[in-house]
Structure 1
């Protein structure tokens, strides 16, 4: 399969910060379409059409937030060059028209934007946010079925760097993020595998690699919805040749 690659990253390795590496995000840059848009969207359509149960999950508790998320994304896309919004449809920058299905908000969103979108909510009296829904077409070494319905600390249990100190800091970020004031960070993952759909079961053997001719990087965003107060964790996946020519 021909790799789906971007020509460049929108940030440099020198911009990296210590974990959790969070910084403010311009609300107008929440969702972006880059030069790999058509290729990534075609891959998303293939995954949603052929293995939907592996890339979409929604708990009953997350249904209201999923609907609000779809409303928020559609309102955002109305302001974006390249998108054309009509009654019941949206035409994307690559010319593909998507029929909106309010009964399937996450499946619809998976066909509209490059970002994977995860819904995290904090039940009354709970100490942590819980993953209540997601469209996750491009996982990087994790599996949605093992994370849905789990709290943040449990979700990150296999990640050695994600200790209790980092967990408390991330939870404070999720508690504190304000409506209209989103946050973002990015990671840096050299790889020899250009597959965008790359799940891995918890505690399975680490993915071994020799030679790292590519770089995978996720631009991760954190945004609070105003009505349900759910936190949306967005993941925009970049794959580029590395080092660049």
Structure 2
């Protein structure tokens, strides 16, 4: 079993005799941003994360193991997730696509590695039209953008997306990172028999700088939660 960053940080912090607030202060983070990092529910960015490692005096081989931002996602980490057989997307914390399942690219060619998924789904008109219930998906994604900016308010890609959204959409939305997990997406790839999918969001415990979205076919009754929109 690969240890989670959550367990490692909590263990090292307690061994150092520090409270979450004291460690956050030493690393130059707000208490809330550090709390979400240690709980595995938020990623503050590579620079603040490394400041936490510095504050904990993590060095040598332990530092090499924990200084993972920017590294490829390894085979053992993938095996722990158990997503084989489902369409999936691998993103970094800025929502830039790192890997894309070919079943998704075959339906929406614009969704490909290197593209920012939030920008693609929120700002690209053609891509928006590929989702039958886009308004519902848009609200979920804007809530996720809110949450991502709370974790890393200095992220240039996320700030750029926020600045391009209509002000009414941004001001009327709230931060709700949990809204993404279990949301229903209805793709327009087959207009006659649209398939509804549950989007399941996962943050690997050993790689909180990444986000995995995978899609599970919804039961017939679930599709009614996400009707096609005009």
Question: TM-score with structure 2 length normalisation?
Answer: 0.29
Structure with greater helix percent: 2
Q: Which TM-score applies when normalising by structure 1?
A: 0.28
Larger Rg: 2
Higher RCO (CA < 8 A, seq sep 6+):
1
